[in-house]
Amino acid sequence: MESEMKCNLSEMWSSKMPKGLDLEISHHPMTMRRVANLIIAMERLKAGTSESVLSTEFRDENLLNIMMENIVEEHIVLELSSAPPVQFSRTGEYQCSVTDSQKRSLVLVENSMELHAVMLQGGSDNRKVHLNMSTYVHPSPSTEARPVALGIKDTNLYLSCHKKGDVPTLHLEAVEDKSSLLRISPESEMVQFLFYKRDSGLNISTLMSASFPDWYISTAEHDNKPVEMCMESAKRYRTFNIQRQNPDTNQHS
């Protein structure tokens, strides 16, 4: 049976081989798997051979090259790393007190829904606003600045920056569903609540709008004026002393 199988295979392929080549099966014993592999190899060899072969110059290495080009398959393995986050994801929240570089505190003026920078006298610290600062992971992490959201303690009011006319302006906006600030898509309108906190010293930071680069939260030269957005070239104070507070520090203030 084995001899007949070898004979039949040789006859089958003798008419299909390039001129000058003959097929001789010498492996023993012949199994059906080896027969199948041999048929697949010869089909690839036959399909991929386009040039005529001269019997007097066709050597073993020529056959090996053809077989390597047509039989050996290349498998490319791609090493996949974990994809970076595609959203601003909140990592934590803490209370903080904020004063500008002139040691003025932030005070909420409810009639105009504005924050003013005010030099508070003794006994009036209860007017001082404390902020809840939420921190985020940036989709493209930066070691120089960190995204934050700034909410007024014990309220649902958050600082936001969006255009009023052609100029980016600072606003206080109510956020009814605070869970909407847990994850923020870079393309969503919620980015207006994000600011880049860049530290320049111990507790000394600037707060730049995430929506409008180079526009900063700032205070005026004169006392009791609104906190507004400004560019770096403006004659306003852009640095703040931001000190983290323990949760119970200001319960009685």
Percent of the chain residues past pLDDT 90, beyond the cut = 55
Structure tokens, 73: 């398959």
Has residue 51 been placed in a domain?
Answer: no
Has residue 3 been placed in a domain?
Answer: no
Percent of the chain residues past pLDDT 70, beyond the cut = 62
Has residue 148 been placed in a domain?
Answer: yes
**Per-residue pLDDT, 250:** 45
Number of domain units in the chain:
1
**From CA 162, how far away is CA 33, in angstroms rounded?**
71
Averaged over 140-153, what is the pLDDT? 86
158-198 per-position pLDDT tens digit: 999 999 889 999 999 999 999 999 999 999 999 999 999 99
Has residue 83 been placed in a domain?
Answer: no
| Cα dihedral: 24, 29, 31, 36 (round 10) | -20
**From CA 114, how far away is CA 132, in angstroms rounded?**
17
**Per-residue pLDDT, 38:** 64
**Per-residue pLDDT, 95:** 97
Has residue 225 been placed in a domain?
Answer: yes
pLDDT at 108 over 60: yes
CATH number of domain containing 166: 2.80.10.50
**Per-residue pLDDT, 253:** 35
Single out the residue of 124, 131, 105, 133 nearest to residue 224, CA to CA: 105
52-95 per-position pLDDT tens digit: 444 555 565 665 665 555 554 545 555 555 555 589 999 999 99
Has residue 20 been placed in a domain?
Answer: no
Single out the residue of 181, 200, 177 nearest to residue 190, CA to CA: 181
Has residue 237 been placed in a domain?
Answer: yes
**Unique residue bearing structure tokens 């009814």:** 176
**Per-residue pLDDT, 209:** 97
Single out the residue of 168, 156, 250 nearest to residue 213, CA to CA: 168
**Per-residue pLDDT, 44:** 60
pLDDT at 216 over 70: yes
Has residue 235 been placed in a domain?
Answer: yes
Q: Which domain holds residue 97?
A: 88-244
pLDDT at 239 over 70: yes
pLDDT at 242 over 80: yes
Averaged over 231-245, what is the pLDDT? 95
DSSP the chain: -HHHHHHHHHHHHHTTSPTT-------SS--HHHHHHHHHHHHHHHHH--S---TTT--HHHHHHHHHHHHPPP-----PPPPPPSSEEEEEEEEEEEEETT-PEEEEETTTTEEEEE-PPTT-GGGB-EEEEEEEE-SS--SSEEEEEEEETTSSEEEEEEEETTEEEEEEEE-S-GGGGSEE-TTSGGGGGEEEEEEEETTEEEEEESSSTTEEEEB-SSTTEE-EEEETTSSSB--EEEEEE-TTTTTT-
| Cα dihedral: 144, 147, 150, 153 (round 10) | -90
